[in-house]
Chains A and B, each alone.
Chain A
């Protein structure tokens, strides 16, 4: 199987996953969504009619008015297709098409910082902040992790190896959000260095906003790095130890190539495919975990948006955010697959 065919196959699977997730989300919130839409339609029509004084005065009895209102509501529902339940193919197809073209409609309660209630605007405002926080954290974590992992793999069973391994195991069993709470306790209460709430207190339009955002990012960033780099180092160490046992490394050693060169040049290169895969996967994983992490620190990104949307049941935002989160998740998994196949040709030839 060629590389292109492999890519195509993965891409199709990913698209399937995206559609399946979307379908599940719509199926789970669909009936609620319907009720809310119907409510808002009848409310809107009643308001229109009550505002139109001359129209009201043209009715003689209240029954006539009621009948007219009812008629109008039914007409509007028919026009919107609300007379059919949400699971009919046309409505489902329409909903999916709208979402795929990023037309998420308007939020019910939530607004963006600039006051727009368009779900697209809200998401476009929050997304960069989440990406900023989590890619920065992942970059720092992987850099530390690879360095420390290489050092540990170089001296298996040495003190530094043992410390790395035990730190990895211990740090990965604490939930990130709990460590977040402890960090807030330590650095916002005991030693008030950083703010407890990560939402900047200046308005978005202020020129100092970016600086304030970066300052507020410090605590979540430190937490993410602290909890992440141990297990990273451990992973890299394990991959490297595996590679260092292979025959070609032995051969290189017997020729007399410098030990450091073997480790950082040859062994690390060969351990790259799994490392890159895990890098992409951990990025996607942290995006999912962002919901809790951002809720703890009040970081104004996608995760907190999702959390807020869930707590007030703002369905358009939930659907939009799920779609975008899933899309990002899938893109990073896809990237991992592609990179792995690129580095390790055995995968494509399976």
Chain B
């Protein structure tokens, strides 16, 4: 029952599934890294705040769906401006230009211009469009509320506004009745019939200011569509890619901390009980039996409801129910090792108990410990996901389980919102599988009997 680290690694590297497992874990680590670098933590903390997701579309399909359908569904675009500044005769003109190449087969659901301006006085803002066919039209103009001192104003211009429709009707000559057609369907329409005019659209926001100190702090043009991003959005307009990406480090954290915690606790408990024997063993094992026979999920639910559902508490609760099985096995292993002669010898030499345990028994159990760490990760991840799925997870750290909880609350399954339910579950399973693969490979090294 002795292994050198090198031998184990050699055997391990020979097993194909172990390499697959390691490959998946490397990918997951990369995803966590990407999440840390590209998505600011604030975005993720605002996951449950509907106000921060207003400019996103509702239940939009992933953008790559367009590669598989004959008619291109309009993508939800959030355009960033190019800004130009001009001074002429005491009037400063700030122009934000948004360019988009519209190549979809149906009209956008709407468009919104959202801005936050810093100014004094009463500047004028005008939104206009230049279409691929050369026609151009003022869409809307408004003056910002008068202010004597410096002020900031946040405003929006909606395509659903009545004045926008009137402007479009007056400026562009359509050869079909336009009365019941919303303005976004007119702006993006051919002149002779109401079909999509594809090509380059330029939206221009111009502000005229006599005081000359007007600036746009935030200015974005949102072209409403039905597909968005890599993973689409959910009913609450949240970008699912953010949730999935940030769920990765959380799942890894929960899985690995819980399994290391339970294995260390179980190992020490079991080895101590097995080594001591007699009454100590009896008492400790009865206690072990009691925890072992407790129904974990109901108690976990009660604990989460009454004590709290912070992610660290949940990790603690999972450890409380996770160590028992490992304690049982390591106890019987340490009882075997205890009878070996070199242990007897070191006992006779008067070595202290804890030294024998730590120097002579525990190292023997290390391969088993590593295998059980890997094997108990998936259970920890699925149990946490289950708790979150019931709505008992930590709301400040939304996990894959919570995405699925929201999906289930909004009836995603029976409404066919597959992009909301498939990715989180697949990620949970993939993460679990990676550790199961590694655990299996290690297990078959530690227990050669299984290999046949």
* Contact status A182-B413, CB under 8 Å: yes
**A178 to chain B: closest residue by CB:** B425
**A195 to chain B: closest residue by CB:** B414
* Contact status A181-B408, CB under 8 Å: yes
* Contact status B415-A178, CB under 8 Å: no
Mark the stretch among A10-18, A72-80, A121-129 that contacts chain B.
Answer: A10-18
Contact of A196 among B390, B407, B413 (CB under 8 A): B413
* Contact status A288-B297, CB under 8 Å: yes
* Contact status A184-B413, CB under 8 Å: yes
* A190 within 8 A of partner (CB): yes
Give the complex CA separation of A190 and B294 in angstroms. 40
Chain A residues with CB below 8 A from B404, complex form: 177-178, 181
* Contact status A13-B293, CB under 8 Å: yes
* Contact status A189-B421, CB under 8 Å: no
* A25 within 8 A of partner (CB): yes
Give the complex CA separation of A190 and B422 in angstroms. 14
* B87 within 8 A of partner (CB): no
- With A29-B302, A173-B378, A196-B413: A13-B289 Cβ-Cβ less than 8 Å: yes
Contact of B436 among A173, A242, A318 (CB under 8 A): A173
- B-facing residues in A276-308 (Cβ within 8 Å): 284, 287-289, 291-292, 295-296, 306-307
* B449 within 8 A of partner (CB): yes
Give the complex CA separation of A185 and B404 in angstroms. 13
* Contact status A175-B382, CB under 8 Å: yes
Mark the stretch among B193-201, B205-213, B426-434 that contacts chain A.
Answer: B426-434
**A289 to chain B: closest residue by CB:** B297
* A311 within 8 A of partner (CB): yes
What's the nearest-Cβ distance from chain A to residue B308, in Å? Answer: 11
Chain B residues with CB below 8 A from A174, complex form: 425, 428-429
* Contact status A185-B290, CB under 8 Å: no
- Count A-side interface residues using an 8 Å CB cutoff: 53
- Count B-side interface residues using an 8 Å CB cutoff: 48
**A290 to chain B: closest residue by CB:** B297
* Contact status B413-A188, CB under 8 Å: yes
Q: How many A-B residue pairs have CB under 8 A?
A: 136
Give the complex CA separation of A307 and B304 in angstroms. 13
B residues contacting A by CB (< 8 A) are 286, 289-290, 293-299, 301-303, 305-307, 378, 382, 385-386, 389-392, 404, 407-408, 411-416, 418, 421-422, 424-425, 428-429, 432-433, 436-437, 440, 449-450, 452
- Given A29-B306, A175-B429, A310-B302, output 14 extra A-B contacts at Cβ < 8 Å: A28-B302, A173-B436, A175-B386, A181-B407, A181-B412, A185-B416, A185-B421, A189-B416, A196-B414, A284-B295, A295-B389, A310-B305, A313-B305, A318-B302
A residues contacting B by CB (< 8 A) are 13-14, 16-17, 20-21, 24-25, 28-29, 32, 156, 169-170, 173-175, 177-179, 181-182, 184-185, 188-190, 196, 238, 241-242, 245, 284, 287-289, 291-292, 295-296, 306-307, 310-311, 313, 318, 321-322, 325-326, 329-330, 333
Can you list the 7 inter-chain pairs with the closest CB atoms, starting with the nearest?
A: A178-B425, A173-B432, A196-B414, A184-B413, A17-B293, A288-B297, A189-B416
**Contact sample, A vs B, 30 pairs, CB 8 Å cutoff:** A13-B289, A21-B294, A21-B299, A24-B299, A29-B306, A173-B378, A174-B428, A175-B425, A177-B389, A178-B429, A181-B407, A182-B422, A182-B425, A185-B414, A185-B418, A188-B414, A189-B416, A242-B449, A245-B449, A288-B296, A289-B297, A291-B298, A292-B386, A292-B389, A295-B389, A306-B301, A310-B301, A322-B302, A325-B295, A329-B295
